[in-house]
Amino acid sequence: MPRKNSRLPYLELNRAGRLSYVRRIPPELREFLGGKSAIRRSLGVKTTDCTDTAVVAAWNAVHTAVEVLIAGARTEHARQSGAITEVTPLSPRDVAGIGAEPWRKLLKAGDEGQITPEIQALLAEAGGKAMAALVSALQTGDFQQAQRMKEEIAATLLTDVFNQLQITPDKYSYAQIQQRLLGYVGDMRRDLEARADGDFGSAVLESKAPPLPRRKVTWEQVLEQYRISVGGTTESDGQGVGEDRIAAYRNAIADITERTGKHFPDELTIDDAREYANSLQASDLAIRTQQKKYEMIKHLYKIGVEYGLLNSNPLLNISIKRPKGSTVKTYRSFTREELIAIFDYLGKTADIERQWVVNALLCTGGRSAEIICIRTGDIKRSKAGIHYFDFVHRPLDKYPTSLKGGDAGERKTPLHQRLIDQGHYQAIKKGKDGYLMTAYTTGTSSWTGWFRDVILKPLDIYEQGTTGLHSLRNTAIDLWREAGVDAEFRRAFVAHASKDVQDKIYGDGLKNMPDVLAKEINKVDLSWLP
C-alpha cells in the first residue's frame, strides 16, 4: 500500500491492489444511509500514486458524490434530533463570510504546504468550470448544468463550514451562500495565479470578503450542559433526569423561539425577556404552566452562565407572579360516592388489567408510572408472609422502571388486603420476567386519557385540572389520614422525604419494612367498595 496521503483521505487498497475510496459512516447517520457502516467506491484507475492527476481527479469526483450523501444524512439527523439549529435567516454579511471561508481555508492550506500543486490546479479548474457553466447558461438558457455544478461545489466545500458553526441554513440562506461562494471564484483564481508567480502577498479575496461569523452557542448546547450537570439521563445513564424532563425543556425552548423570533440564547435581551413574560401572561395557558416554561428557560440561562457558555441571564430579574385572587388548581380527592361509582363502572367496562391498575393506585398511593411499570418479580413476599410491592429505580434494566426521586423513591409497600382478596395479580402474571401489565402500553399518557374519557366523563366526575388518574393518589393519602395512620407511615408508603434524620440516614428506614407497614396500611377499610 502506498504511504498514507493526508491530502487524499479515505483511500485504501482493495483486494485487487487498486485504490478504493472507503468512508466510515458515523453511527448516528447510518440509519439514513441504508444501515451501512461504510461507503465504498472504486476510483477506477490503475495507478496507486496519490499525486497522479488521474487519481486526484477520480478522488475528487467520488469524494464530491459521497459528501452529498453524508450532507443529506447529517441534515436529516439534525432535523430529527435537533442536534443542529436551523438558522432563519442569516445576515448578508454572515452569508458573505461563510461563502468566502472555503476559499480562505484552501489558500491558507496551499500557503502552508498542506495541499499539492495538483490539487491547487484542480480547484482552479473546478472554479473555472463553475464560471464557464454559468456563462454557458446565460448564453444558451440551459441552467441545469450550471445548477448541478453549483450544488456539487457547494456540497463539497461548505459542509465543513456548516459543521464548524453548527448550523443548517434555511433554503434561502443556503442559496445566497452558494451565490457568494461562486462569486468569489474570480478572486480566488487571481490569488492562486499570483502565488504561482511567487507573489504570496496577494490578498484579493481577503480584502474583499468579511470574516467568518462567530460560532453561536445553541440552545441544544446549553441543554446538553444542563443534562450533564444533573448527572445524565436516567434512560441511558441510569441517573440524572428522565427523558420526559428533557422533552419539557425542548418544548420550552421551542416556545420562546416562536414567541421572540430569536434562535440563539445570546441574542435575547432584557426587552425580549419582558416581552416573552408578557406574551405568556397574555396567553390562555394556566398560570402554573406559564411559570414552568419561564422558569425552565431562566434555569437554562443560569446553567449557561455558570459554565461559561453565555455572558448573562436576561430573564434573571423578571418573574411571572400569580395574580391576586386567582385560585390554584390541583388534583382533588374523590368522594366516597364518586369512588363507589368509579369502581362499580370499572367492574362493568374494564378488563382485569385495568381493574388491577386502578385498585393498586388507590391501595398504594403510588404514581401511575410506578404501578403501570410493575414487573412480575416486583411483587414479593417477606419472611413473615407479607406480600409487598418492591418499588425500585432500575432505568437501565431489560424491563426498566423509573421512580421520580430515583433511588430515594425506592420502598417496599405492603399490598392492601383488598388487592390480595381480589388476586388480580395472580391471574395476569405472565412468567418470571416482564411487566405485569402486558395488554397495554407502559406509557402513562394513554392510561390518563383512558381514565378520563372512559370512566370519569361518562360518570360526570371529570373536572379539567382537578380530577384525573392522579386523584387516586390524593384519595389514598386522605384515606390514610381518616384511618388514623401517622404521618411517618404515610410518608413511608410513598417515599416522601422523612423529617426524622435517623429514618432518613441510618438503617433500612421505615419505607423498607413491609412487615411493620402492613398493619398500618390495612387500617384503611375498603370493604365498602364494589
Does residue 391 contact residue 495 with C-beta atoms inside 8 Å? yes
Domain ranges of the chain: 11-208, 219-306, 336-521
What are the pLDDT tens digits along the chain (530 aa)? Answer: 333 344 467 788 877 788 888 888 877 788 888 888 888 888 888 888 877 777 777 777 787 678 767 766 776 666 565 444 444 457 889 889 998 988 888 788 778 876 555 545 555 555 555 555 555 555 555 556 555 656 666 666 787 788 777 777 777 888 888 888 888 888 888 888 888 888 888 899 999 999 988 777 889 889 999 999 998 888 777 788 888 888 889 999 999 999 998 888 988 999 999 999 999 999 888 888 899 999 999 999 999 999 999 999 999 999 998 888 777 678 899 999 999 999 999 988 778 889 999 999 999 999 999 999 999 889 999 999 999 999 998 888 888 888 887 888 899 999 999 998 887 767 666 566 788 887 887 878 889 999 999 999 999 999 988 999 999 999 999 999 999 999 989 999 988 755 554 455 444 678 889 999 999 999 999 999 99
What pLDDT sits at residue 52?
75
Measured CA to CA in angstroms, residue 75 lies from 37, 368, 394 at distances of: 18, 38, 35
Rounded Cα gap, residues 259 and 280, in angstroms: 9
Under 8 Å CB-to-CB from 151, ≥6 apart: which residues?
68, 178
Sheet holding 411-414, edge to edge: 379-381, 387-391, 411-414
DSSP tag of 454: I
Q: Give ∠ CA 389-392-394 in degrees, rounded to 5.
A: 140
Q: Which of 173, 357, 180, 182 is nearest to 263 (CA)?
A: 173
Residue 28, amino acid: E
Question: DSSP assignment, residue 456?
Answer: I
Pairing of strands 85-87, 167-169: parallel
Q: What backbone torsions phi and psi does residue 169 show, to the nearest 5 degrees?
A: -65, 150
387-391 vs 411-414, strand pairing mode:
antiparallel
Contact 301, 315 (CB under 8 A): yes
Closest CA to 184 of 148, 153, 159, 163: 153
SS3 296: helix
**pLDDT reported for residue 133:** 57
For residue 238, give the H/E element and its range. none
Q: Indicate whether this model's pTM tops 0.75.
A: no
Is the peptide bond between 26 and the residue preceding it cis, with omega within 30 degrees of 0? no
Radius of gyration for the alpha carbons in the chain, expressed in angstroms and rounded: 32
Amino acid at 522: N
Structural contact between residues 129 and 182, judged by C-beta atoms closer than 8 angstroms:
no
Superfamily of domain 336-521 in the CATH hierarchy = Intergrase catalytic core (1.10.443.10)
